[in-house]
Amino acid sequence: MDSRPIGIFDSGVGGLTVVSQIQQILPKEGIVYFGDTARVPYGTKSKETVTKFSVENVEFLMRHDVKLVVVACNTVSSLSLDFLKRCFRVPMIGVIEPGAKSAVSSSRNSRIGVIGTQATISSGAYEKAISKISSRSRVFTQSCPLFVPLVEEGWTDMHIAFDVASIYLKPLKAKRIDTLILGCTHYPLLKAMIGKAMGPRVLLIDSAQEVSKEAKDVLDASGLLNKSGQSRAHKFFVSDEVNRFIKMGEKFLRKRITCVRRA
């Protein structure tokens, strides 16, 4: 039993979809969240730059004595997780493997689609993770650079979101996938439009849900769950100003955010 908090970081607000799921699955755990809002986004940047920023982010979380680091960003999980695991001793999980596992066990025709940022898609991280689990699965990928700005503009319910989704997803539809991994923490907010564009027979996999189950399993297996009677506090830190993070972040967390400080 261990009452130290779980550390979670992302390039900005997107990782709050992971916080939201972890709060549901592990309601007693404390959370320290870091969003690198001064340098967001990561998804258009190089492996070297993303890794450099991520090392700094983990160092920040380590100063808050976290017992587990959850890399809530698909781009970081794709490009930098192996390096981070070699640099730090703390247990660390990313969003790629849990999403890949869930997709493989859900797909009936073994034709899996993956959407994400340019960096995530061109890294090939999901293909690698899926092929490790199931050699017969075929993976089809598509980067969707306009999805994040559409979500941040709050246009998720507008017809234009459906038009953009239709353009990006047309090639995946043609590949007759039956399972689609939402490989970016912003994408669950576009779930309705993505679902409409793909049709009702395609299952959408939300990485945030999957990594939260993984976090629970890891803590449980290592005897690190907080089994005290008390729920622990949640703290949020950002590298740019607090107000914009709160305004945007409440859409992702689907509840009020308090206790945000500038790191």
DSSP assignment letter at 217? H
Residue located via tokens 């261990």: 2
Structure-block tokens of residue 87: 């640099």
Q: Give the whole-angstrom CA distance, residue 37 versus residue 242.
A: 9
Q: Give the whole-angstrom CA distance, residue 39 versus residue 12.
A: 8
195, 169 in Cβ contact below 8 A? no
Q: Give the whole-angstrom CA distance, residue 139 versus residue 200.
A: 20
Residue located via tokens 């027979």: 201
Catalytic annotation present for 87 = no
| Cβ-based nearer residue to a copy of itself, 46 or 228 | 46
192, 200 in Cβ contact below 8 A? no
Q: Which one of 87, 144, 184, 259 is the catalytic residue?
A: 184
- Element (DSSP H or E) covering residue 247: helix 242-253
- Tell the smallest beta-carbon distance from residue 75 to a copy of itself (Å): 13
Determine the 3-state secondary structure of 140 from DSSP: strand
Comparing CA positions, the residue from 219, 220, 169 lying closest to residue 190 is: 169
210, 188 in Cβ contact below 8 A? no
| Cβ-based nearer residue to a copy of itself, 167 or 192 | 167
| Sites of contact with a copy of itself (CB under 8 A) | 37-40, 44-46, 48-49, 145-146, 148-150, 152-153, 155, 160, 163-164, 167, 239-241, 244
- Tell the smallest beta-carbon distance from residue 151 to a copy of itself (Å): 11
- Tell the smallest beta-carbon distance from residue 50 to a copy of itself (Å): 9
| Cβ-based nearer residue to a copy of itself, 69 or 164 | 164
What is the Rg, in whole angstroms, of the alpha carbon atoms belonging to the chain?
18
- Tell the smallest beta-carbon distance from residue 42 to a copy of itself (Å): 10
| Cβ-based nearer residue to a copy of itself, 130 or 257 | 257
- Tell the smallest beta-carbon distance from residue 152 to a copy of itself (Å): 7
Catalytic annotation present for 73 = yes
| Cβ-based nearer residue to a copy of itself, 74 or 239 | 239
Residues that are catalytic: 73, 184
